[in-house]
Amino acid sequence: MREVDSVRPRRHAVMRQSKLVRVSGLTTLASMAMFLMVLTVIAVGVAREGVEFSDIAPPLTPHSLSAFFKLRAYFWPAAWLALVSIFLMALTPIGLSHALHRSAALTQAATVLFYAGLAAGLVHVSFQSLVQTAIASRYAAAPPSVKEAYYALGAVFYDVNDFFEKAWGIARAASVVLYTLSTLRVAVFPGWAIWVGVVGSVELVYRMPTIALNRPSGGVQDLFFTVWLIGLGVAMLHFQDPDELAGNDHEAAGTQ
């Protein structure tokens, strides 16, 4: 019984860590729910206003500013939903750090990249949904003699926004690769979760040409990251640390 009593504090600490991982899984899924709501709001706006998705894709044109102006009523709620999604997503590495603590070096490097990507994502969301929409509103209301100045200002912000969007994509894609390698080393998640990580890692392959060739980023890259986060959230929601399982067996054996 003394041996069992000495194990219990350690077991309780492990159980708390497991609960933290599961809570992080829940917030990860919540962040993806917010993200899907963002896409829904934008899709509804595009359908109702008769705008094409290509109208708001790079490069910026006067027609793009008109499209942003038409969608301004949809970009504001989408921006707030996106910000909530990013803040909830910031809790994901906390749970992963506890789940993958046996592979500390890879996990820490992945966490740094993940948070760097989130910081770039915050700037991207702010520019895309708030600043760009405000400039589009000024452009629509401005007299012809001033429109060119607003268009030039919008082009500068659009290029800056495109940079942060690409930085967000590269950083998060690299973090997915490192998290997946860490998962392979530690093997605390089900096998299917590792395959989900492999799918998420494909984003890095798609992102590199957009940097090397200075091409616009497409929406398909976001699909890989979304699949990874949803799968990861489910895996974290059902997480149980191997030490916790071993502690259960040890305590059961000790009480016999």
Rg from Cα positions in the chain:
22
* Residue 100 is assigned to a structural domain of this protein: yes
pLDDT tens digits for range 106-150: 999 999 999 999 999 999 888 877 788 888 888 888 888 888 898
The whole-number average pLDDT for the span 23-49 is 93
Give me the chain's average pLDDT, please: 84
Helix and strand numbers (H, E) in the chain are 10, 0
* Residue 65 is assigned to a structural domain of this protein: yes
Contacts of 58 (CB under 8 A, 6+ apart): 158, 162, 216
Question: What is the pTM for the complete model shown?
Answer: 0.85
175 vs 207 pLDDT, higher one: 175
* Residue 251 is assigned to a structural domain of this protein: no
Give the phi and the psi of residue 150 in degrees, each rounded to 5: -65, -35
Q: Rounded to whole angstroms, how far apart are CA atoms 161 and 177?
A: 25
- Residue 239, domain extent: 2-246
Per-residue CA distances from 6 to 167, 207, 242, 256 (Å): 49, 51, 18, 16
* Residue 155 is assigned to a structural domain of this protein: yes
* Residue 24 is assigned to a structural domain of this protein: yes
pLDDT tens digits for range 66-106: 888 888 889 889 989 999 999 999 999 999 998 998 888 99
How many domains is the chain partitioned into structurally?
1
* Residue 255 is assigned to a structural domain of this protein: no
* Residue 218 is assigned to a structural domain of this protein: yes
* Residue 6 is assigned to a structural domain of this protein: yes
Q: Rounded to whole angstroms, how far apart are CA atoms 112 and 116?
A: 6
